[in-house]
């Protein structure tokens, strides 16, 4: 399969969740878009190669204060030694809003995180003692043990030096056999496939073994022949820090070449006009004038409108309880702009759903964050996909996330199952910039809808989209979960029946 064909197949793979149309209710109208005046008269400089991305430094949270001294009452309650400086989690543990298993789940803290010893309160038979989990929440003490070391928590996901993403990622060849373990490889008994067409994007573990002259490696979806793995090279594309690097004008645009190499301008707004300068794929240009399907980007340089992705400012959604920070997603242009109040601070290209209903226009809220998450198809879908350890996943609706798409470089073109695909650098920026900030040591964070950051998804047909109804969504998702569980039971039963039939020896019938 060629690189282009592989990209087209894999580009559609993203997100683990429903692709149902949005359940939405109307809200107040948003004022019409207002364009800012050009910042300056740009010089007609012509790029001849794609400019290297401006290094983006994700906003860093303020340094935490020194940890408090261990609470003597807690040490006494748990009979921990006086040398205790922190408590360490034995396993991943949920943090709750209150010292009760029925309280709201705030997120998940990973095993090995060392937290300050603060307050402790009595619980019930399900959890006898609860520990305060700074900076917020409560964890059950049965998941903790005393440590003589100082508190220490790691910001997740961890990215190795010199890497764009936390892991090395691979595509599994279509139809490749997967095995539960090395013994299954030797026995020639592969795992059943959930559907006829399956796509897997995986991480690779330490284990490997040679069997019958072939090397098999342990992956996140089982043991696979090494020859059936193709490594991904994540995109190096990065958006624009509009504060550190102001754009050439408002509006401005990225050049988007169909061949991802270059676009040739014309000297006038006409297809048959003489050729002008050459502009690199994803070069930034000012939008000075639009006429007859062309855009003037410099004196005597006109680029076809279809070869540009235009970034335009828009007013803030009229949502009373919204956070000052918000994000605007233009589906027509595939352009994202992040705002702090009325000030645009960051802009980039993204890839939304390939089908018109995959990323429905609406006004959403940031609802959760995951350092790494697995995304897969639902049982009701005709084909199956599983994408392992997707980094910097910021959810705004069930099944829809901002996240790094390490498998393609088609940002600026609809290319997902509904999620907002971003380059690694851009997904990390969104994850770090959006609030609340993920505490160090946490791998998951839930965000209440009230007061949360707004995400507006719009297009020409829906310039002022309605507010998404999260209450209705929760009811629908409960129904979907029941249906998915039923379909999964049916599939597993069919797989077990097929495996049993395959294992039953065929007894020849005597003539």
b/e per residue 333-359 (b: at least 16 CB within 10 A): bbbbbbbeeeebbbbbbbbbbbeeebb
Rounded to the nearest angstrom, the gap between the alpha carbon of residue 264 and the centroid of all alpha carbons in its chain is 34
Beta bridge partners of 191: none
Which residue, 377, 429, 438, 386, is CA-closest to 404?
429
User: Is residue 200 within 8 Å of residue 171, measured between CB atoms?
Assistant: yes
What Rg value do the Cα atoms of the chain yield, rounded? 26
For residue 24, what pLDDT is reported? Answer: 30
For residue 39, what pLDDT is reported? Answer: 35
Task: Return d(Cα 256, Cα 95) in angstroms, integer.
Answer: 45
Map tokens 């990209």 to a residue. 7
For residue 508, what pLDDT is reported? Answer: 63
- Give all domains of the chain, ordered by start, each with its CATH number: 1-33+313-493 (2.40.440.10), 72-147 (2.30.30.40), 169-231 (no CATH)
For residue 56, what pLDDT is reported? Answer: 56
**C-alpha torsion angle, residues 171, 172, 173, 175 (rounded to 10):** -150
Task: Return d(Cα 401, Cα 334) in angstroms, integer.
Answer: 15
For residue 455, what pLDDT is reported? Answer: 98
What distances in angstroms separate CA 97 from CA 131, 143, 156, one per listed residue?
Answer: 12, 17, 21
Beta bridge partners of 335: 330, 349
The number of residues making up the chain comes to 511
For residue 45, what pLDDT is reported? Answer: 42
For residue 479, what pLDDT is reported? Answer: 72
Mind listing the pLDDT tens digit of every residue in the chain (511 residues)? 444 444 433 444 446 454 333 333 333 333 333 333 333 334 444 444 444 444 455 556 566 677 789 999 999 999 999 999 999 999 999 999 999 999 999 999 999 999 999 999 999 999 999 999 999 999 999 999 999 999 999 999 999 999 999 999 999 999 899 999 999 999 999 998 876 668 899 999 888 999 999 999 999 999 999 999 999 999 999 999 999 999 989 999 999 998 889 999 999 999 999 999 999 999 999 999 999 999 999 999 999 999 999 999 999 999 988 899 999 999 999 999 999 999 999 999 999 999 877 899 999 999 999 999 999 876 666 667 899 999 999 999 999 999 999 999 999 999 999 999 999 999 999 999 999 999 999 999 999 988 999 999 999 999 999 999 998 987 877 777 777 777 778 777 776 776 676 666 655 666 6
For residue 349, what pLDDT is reported? Answer: 99
Whole-model pTM over 0.75: yes
Task: Return d(Cα 457, Cα 332) in angstroms, integer.
Answer: 10
Q: How many CA atoms are closer than 13 Å to the CA of 34, on its beta-carbon side?
A: 9
For residue 61, what pLDDT is reported? Answer: 58
Strands 229-231 and 169-172: antiparallel
Which run of H or E residues covers position 280?
strand 275-280
């Amino acid at each position: 399969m060629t690189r282009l064909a592989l990209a087209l197949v894999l580009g559609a793979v993203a997100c683990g969740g429903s692709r149902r149309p949005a359940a939405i209710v109307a809200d107040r109208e948003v004022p019409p878009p207002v364009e800012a005046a050009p910042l300056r008269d740009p010089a007609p400089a012509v790029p001849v190669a794609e400019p290297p991305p401006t290094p983006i430094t994700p906003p860093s949270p303020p340094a935490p204060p020194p940890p408090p001294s261990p609470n003597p009452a807690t040490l006494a309650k748990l009979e921990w030694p006086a040398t205790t400086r922190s408590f360490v989690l034995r396993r991943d543990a949920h943090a709750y809003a209150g010292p009760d298993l029925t309280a709201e789940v705030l997120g998940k803290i990973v095993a090995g995180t060392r937290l300050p010893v603060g307050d402790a309160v009595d619980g019930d038979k399900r959890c006898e003692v609860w520990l305060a989990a700074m900076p917020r929440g409560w964890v059950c003490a049965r998941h903790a043990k005393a440590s003589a070391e100082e508190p220490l928590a790691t910001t997740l996901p961890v990215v190795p030096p010199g890497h764009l993403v936390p892991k090395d990622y691979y595509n599994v060849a279509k139809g490749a056999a997967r095995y539960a373990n090395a013994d299954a490889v030797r026995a020639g008994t592969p795992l059943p496939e959930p559907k006829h067409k399956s796509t897997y994007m995986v991480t690779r573990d330490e284990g490997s073994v040679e069997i019958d002259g072939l090397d098999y490696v342990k992956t996140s979806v089982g043991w696979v022949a090494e020859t059936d793995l193709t490594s991904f090279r994540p995109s190096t594309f990065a958006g624009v820090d509009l504060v550190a690097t102001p754009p050439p004008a408002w509006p401005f645009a990225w050049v988007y070449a169909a061949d991802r190499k270059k676009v040739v301008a014309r000297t006038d707004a006409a297809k048959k006009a003489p050729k002008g300068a050459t502009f690199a794929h994803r070069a930034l240009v000012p939008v000075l004038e639009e006429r007859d399907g062309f855009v003037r980007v410099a004196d005597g340089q006109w680029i076809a409108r279809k070869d540009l992705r235009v970034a335009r400012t828009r007013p803030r959604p009229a949502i009373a309880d919204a956070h000052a920070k918000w994000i605007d997603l233009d589906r027509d242009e595939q352009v994202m702009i992040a705002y702090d109040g009325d000030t645009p601070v960051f802009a980039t290209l993204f890839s939304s759903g390939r089908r018109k209903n995959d990323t429905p226009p609406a006004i959403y809220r940031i609802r959760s964050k995951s350092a790494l998450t697995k995304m897969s198809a639902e049982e009701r879908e005709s084909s199956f996909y599983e994408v392992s350890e997707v980094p910097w996943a910021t959810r705004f609706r069930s099944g829809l996330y901002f996240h790094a798409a390490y498998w393609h470089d088609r940002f600026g073109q609809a290319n997902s199952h509904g999620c907002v695909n971003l380059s690694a650098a851009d997904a990390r920026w969104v994850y770090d910039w959006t609030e609340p900030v993920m505490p160090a040591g946490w791998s998951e964070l839930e965000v209440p809808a009230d007061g949360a950051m707004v995400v507006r998804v719009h297009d020409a047909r829906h310039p002022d989209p309605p507010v998404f109804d999260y209450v209705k969504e929760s009811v629908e998702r409960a129904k979907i979960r029941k249906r998915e569980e039923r379909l999964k039971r049916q599939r597993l039963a069919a797989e077990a029946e097929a495996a049993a039939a395959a294992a039953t020896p065929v007894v020849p019938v005597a003539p």
